[in-house]
Amino acid sequence: MAFVKLNSVTKFFSVSTNNGEAEGMTAILDISLSIRRGEFISIVGPSGCGKSTILNMIAGLQLPTEGTVTIDGKVVLEPPPVNKDELRDYEKKYRFLSPVYNSLFKNKHRFDISMVFQDHSIYPWKTALNNITFALRLRGIAKEECIVTAKNALAAVGLAGFENNYPYQLSGGMRQRVALARALAVKSKILLMDEPFGLLDGFNRERLQEDLSAVWSKTSLTVVYITHDIEEAVYLSDRVVLMAPSPGVIRNIIPVELPRPRRRTNPEFKEICTNIQKIFHSELTGEYEYGVI
């Protein structure tokens, strides 16, 4: 059974031009995707194909124009009613909700989700340890437990001994490790990652990929990972979702059935990367190569 599911999801953005006319674009069109509990999925595609839009809708930061996004069978955000019949059904469904209820629950987490972005987004005035304990305290965890959990999370990403360092005392790769440790420490069920290692040099990027893969293998985390890097997607993922733009659609879903930990020098690893690159090129150019699976 799907844990995270996008069912015929379309997202349309409308804007107003300088002369006051309305225009817009369809970011993604009729996307359907089922993700199993504990699965690691990477979404690969060129800029503008709607990868981040999908991530934002799973997180509940945007709602679909059409279709639904569900987590564990529950709708994340529903599209607003667009006609009288839909409005009547909507009002009937939510007739028991009151302003008091909304005021109590509007800021509560509806789903257990963590996010890691390309920009590490850690607080510059807090130490590595305090960046993590702050997030844990917001979830109502006792101070002593926060400290133990935060130290364990930092150790898991190779930052034992750097607990009292401030971000300015850490390299870019180390700051991103803090962000990853913070996401892991809260022990969410779903981890959404939007090109988290995209700004790092090749060495640090590979090290963090290895850390992430090792930590994920010890958890039941469901991960949805956005990247432009095919090799990164193959190294990390159970399946690789290939998208094409204008509007964003899913073109292929490629399983990666390689044992972990994976080796980039493995001929099978390289073959999968090459095949995905050929498929990706074919979808973008329309030039199909015979024999590519």
Q: Give the 3-state secondary structure of residue 13.
A: strand
Closest to 33 (Cα-Cα) out of 194, 187, 222:
222
pLDDT of residue 94: 55
Cβ partners under 8 Å of residue 138, min gap 6: none
Q: Whole-prediction pTM value?
A: 0.83
pLDDT of residue 201: 84
pLDDT of residue 289: 54
What phi, psi does 217 have (nearest 5°)? -60, -20
- Interstrand relation of 113-116 and 190-194 (parallel, antiparallel or unpaired): parallel
**How far, in Å, CA of 291 to CA of 280, rounded?**
14
CATH superfamily of 4-78+107-112+188-285: P-loop containing nucleotide triphosphate hydrolases (3.40.50.300)
Sequence ranges of the domains in the chain: 4-78+107-112+188-285
Where are any strands of DSSP class E within the chain? 2-16, 22-36, 40-44, 66-71, 74-75, 113-116, 190-194, 222-227, 239-244, 249-255
Tokens of 95: 């007739």
Residues of the chain with pLDDT under 70: 15-17, 20-22, 78-83, 86-87, 90-111, 120, 283-293
What phi, psi does 5 have (nearest 5°)? -140, 130
Q: Give the 3-state secondary structure of residue 259.
A: coil
